[in-house]
């Protein structure tokens, strides 16, 4: 393994284990999720200048006015998605730097990840290739359209906040499938988990969160 991936000091496995410990104290119980958070080197997803801060429980800038999601939120959303059982096909909207993508890819069979900002997607692809994670398909598009050709999905994770549930994503859920998504205006959103049933959709309203907005079109 390369030195960059392995990390030392503030970027070492021990630092990741402390991060996972703090996440567990905040109420994430899924052992597999916590183990993956100990494995995936979060520092290689951010600029070198920010690497020493990669394991703080905070969002950090990744360019283009976007942020890498806070570790607790990544763990929480993954736990919520996996609660119904093992997942095969998962759609992620908002690849960003690819960190959440990496965590998901280690826990499900295949991740389909859509990002609207091309340079972010390109960088994420390189980082994930460096980590030799290959059960991911990428698409440069407005995620509001989902990924119709690859639907239906057992799980959908949305990493940016629309003001209401996107219709196309609801349609691309398998029956029994779950979607974890922040909903609301900038700066104050509610995390929701939607489950598709044979009759329709069930919505659980969870905690308040803070995500970047879900934008339309491509860059």
Binding site for ligand SAH (CB under 6 A): 62, 66-69, 93-94, 96-97, 99-100, 114-117, 120, 142-144, 159-160, 212, 214-216
- 175: exposed, middle or buried (Cβ count in 10 Å: 0-12, 13-18, 19+): exposed
To ligand SAH, the closest distance from the beta carbon of 121 in angstroms equals: 8
3-state SS assignment for residue 206 = strand
Q: Is 216 a catalytic residue?
A: no
Query: Judged by CB, which is closer to ligand SAH: 7, or 96?
Result: 96
Query: Judged by CB, which is closer to ligand SAH: 7, or 98?
Result: 98
Query: Judged by CB, which is closer to ligand SAH: 104, or 194?
Result: 104
To ligand SAH, the closest distance from the beta carbon of 156 in angstroms equals: 12
Catalytic position from the list 2, 52, 69, 216: 69
To ligand SAH, the closest distance from the beta carbon of 3 in angstroms equals: 23
What is the dihedral angle through the alpha carbons of 39, 117, 58, 135, rounded to the nearest 10 degrees? -20
3-state SS assignment for residue 187 = coil
To ligand SAH, the closest distance from the beta carbon of 33 in angstroms equals: 15
The secondary structure of 96-122 as a DSSP string is TTSHHHHHHHTTSSEEEEEES-HHHHH
Query: Judged by CB, which is closer to ligand SAH: 138, or 154?
Result: 138
The catalytic residues are: 69
């Amino acid at each position: 393994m390369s030195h960059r991936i392995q990390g030392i000091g503030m970027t070492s496995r021990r630092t990741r284990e402390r991060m996972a410990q703090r996440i567990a104290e905040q109420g994430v119980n899924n052992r597999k999720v916590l183990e993956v958070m100990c494995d995936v080197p979060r520092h290689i997803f951010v600029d070198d200048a920010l690497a020493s801060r990669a394991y703080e429980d905070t969002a950090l800038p990744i360019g283009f006015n976007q942020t890498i999601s806070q570790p607790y939120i990544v763990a929480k959303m993954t736990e919520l998605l996996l609660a119904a059982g093992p997942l095969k096909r998962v759609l992620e909207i908002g690849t960003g730097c690819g960190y959440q993508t990496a965590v998901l890819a280690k826990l499900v069979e295949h991740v389909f990840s859509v990002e609207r900002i091309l340079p972010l997607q390109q960088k994420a692809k390189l980082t994930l290739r460096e980590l030799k994670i290959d059960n991911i398909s990428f698409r440069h598009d407005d995620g509001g359209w989902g990924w119709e050709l690859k639907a239906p999905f057992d799980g959908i994770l949305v990493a940016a906040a629309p003001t209401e549930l996107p219709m196309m994503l609801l349609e691309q859920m398998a029956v029994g499938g779950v979607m974890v998504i922040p909903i609301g205006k900038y700066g104050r959103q509610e995390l929701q988990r939607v489950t598709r049933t044979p009759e329709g959709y069930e919505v659980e309203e969870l905690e308040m969160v803070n995500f970047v907005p879900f934008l339309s079109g491509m860059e």
